[in-house]
Amino acid sequence: MMNPLRSDAIAILDSGAGGLTVAREVMRQLPRETVIYVGDTARCPYGPRPESEVRRFTLEIVQFLMQFRLKALVIACNTATAAALETVRSRLAVPVLGVIEPGARAAIKVTKRNRVGVIGTQGTIRSGAYEKALRRLHPGITVFSLACPAFVPLVEGGKRGSEEAGRIVAETLEPLKETGIDSLILGCTHYPLLADPISCAMGESVAIISSAEETAAELSTILQHQNLLSDIETPRHRFFTTGSPETFARIAEDWFGHPIHVEQVALEPLEPVTG
Ligand code: DGL
């Protein structure tokens, strides 16, 4: 890979539309950067899939992204971060950021009672990646984890503001309410799109933590440190989905507040990988 240039793009990937929560924050904190986003909507959700399959899918997205000039890659998916961050880092010459460490760091800054909840997909919760990251930062922390498999289909189905979403979120989070947590990590990038029903279910005493801000801040620090910040006046972002561009564009417009153009992409399959 060539030496990155300041005008090169930042790639952001997710299993679907959830990574838009990170993309929006990256665009807010780094408004001169060009973003290339890929959502593997056709194969979403990644959460219930085996780790090796998630790793292969992630590498297929990375392979597609290699045709662009990139200066950094953000794996804006907790499930893919847990399954593939180290593998992707070992294969790319540019900085590769995940969302788990930043999410854990954000929670440590906020918790006062050192009792933290984590919600995520089955894959993320099964990996124990948040517990490990939180304990590395603070060995005395108590962590309560809960998989919420019903949440991602609500977001990808465009139902985030519905009554059904409110009901499902409240029922799913019930087990966390008696734990005494004072902060809850949204350990799936789709969940900030459900922040209202989540905070309504948990009540005011629980701080809701998303990794988007901390991830974008870390990216900003890295680019600054490597003298790679762009000075482009009006960057031209590109959004790709493996699924329906119309559905993806509707979710993106709802989240960004303005229409975006979405392109469809077919990813080249890779052989199953073990490493
Ligand atoms: N948004 C993703 C995450 O952060 C995954 C959702 C899914 O595909 O299950 O884990």
| Residue 234 covered by a domain | yes
63 alpha carbon – ligand 1 mean position (Å): 20
pTM higher than 0.85: yes
Specify the number of domains making up the chain.
2
Do residue 72 and residue 89 come from a single domain? Answer: yes
97 alpha carbon – ligand 1 mean position (Å): 16
Instruction: Report helix, strand or coil for 31.
Output: coil
Which residue blocks in the chain are alpha helix, DSSP H?
20-29, 51-65, 78-91, 100-110, 122-127, 129-137, 151-156, 163-173, 195-202, 212-225, 245-256
Do residue 109 and residue 147 come from a single domain? Answer: yes
Tell me the pLDDT tens digit for each residue of 100-113: 999 999 999 999 99
Does residue 50 have a pLDDT over 60?
yes
CATH number at residue 52: 3.40.50.1860
Do residue 108 and residue 207 come from a single domain? Answer: yes
Q: Give the nearest ligand 1 atom to 149 CA.
A: 9
Q: What's the pLDDT score for residue 2?
A: 66
Does residue 240 have a pLDDT over 90?
yes
Q: What's the pLDDT score for residue 273?
A: 56
| Residue 131 covered by a domain | yes
- Quick one: average pLDDT of 123-132? 98
Average pLDDT, rounded, for the chain: 96
Does residue 167 have a pLDDT over 80?
yes
In which band, very low, low, confident or very high, does the pLDDT at 214 lie, cut at 50, 70 and 90? very high
Q: What's the pLDDT score for residue 215?
A: 98
- Quick one: average pLDDT of 173-197? 97
| Residue 275 covered by a domain | no
| Residue 271 covered by a domain | no
CA-angle at 47, arms to 42 and 52, nearest 5°: 90
Does residue 197 have a pLDDT over 80?
yes
Q: What's the pLDDT score for residue 133?
A: 98
Active site residue 188: yes
Active site residue 77: yes
Range of the domain at 35: 4-98+213-264
**Pocket mutation for ligand 1, best pick of 77, 100, 145, 191 (most atoms within 8 Å of C-beta):** 77
| Residue 269 covered by a domain | no
| Residue after which a domain boundary falls, among 175, 195, 211 | 211
Does residue 4 have a pLDDT over 70?
yes
**HSE value, Cβ hemisphere, 13 Å, CA-based, for 46:** 34
In which band, very low, low, confident or very high, does the pLDDT at 271 lie, cut at 50, 70 and 90? confident
Do residue 204 and residue 229 come from a single domain? Answer: no
Do residue 117 and residue 162 come from a single domain? Answer: yes
Q: What's the pLDDT score for residue 109?
A: 96
Do residue 242 and residue 111 come from a single domain? Answer: no
In which band, very low, low, confident or very high, does the pLDDT at 16 lie, cut at 50, 70 and 90? very high
Do residue 84 and residue 111 come from a single domain? Answer: no
- Quick one: average pLDDT of 15-21? 97
Do residue 205 and residue 117 come from a single domain? Answer: yes
Sequence-separated (6 or more) residues with CB below 8 Å from residue 78:
98, 99, 100, 103, 120, 121, 124, 129, 187, 188, 189, 211
Do residue 112 and residue 174 come from a single domain? Answer: yes
Task: State if residue 13 touches ligand 1 by the CB under 6 angstroms criterion.
Answer: no
How far out from the chain centre does Cα 146 lie? Answer: 17
| Residue 272 covered by a domain | no
Task: State if residue 22 touches ligand 1 by the CB under 6 angstroms criterion.
Answer: no
Does residue 274 have a pLDDT over 90?
no
Do residue 237 and residue 247 come from a single domain? Answer: yes
Does residue 3 have a pLDDT over 90?
no
228 alpha carbon – ligand 1 mean position (Å): 29
| Residue 147 covered by a domain | yes
Q: What's the pLDDT score for residue 5?
A: 93
191 alpha carbon – ligand 1 mean position (Å): 9
| Residue 142 covered by a domain | yes
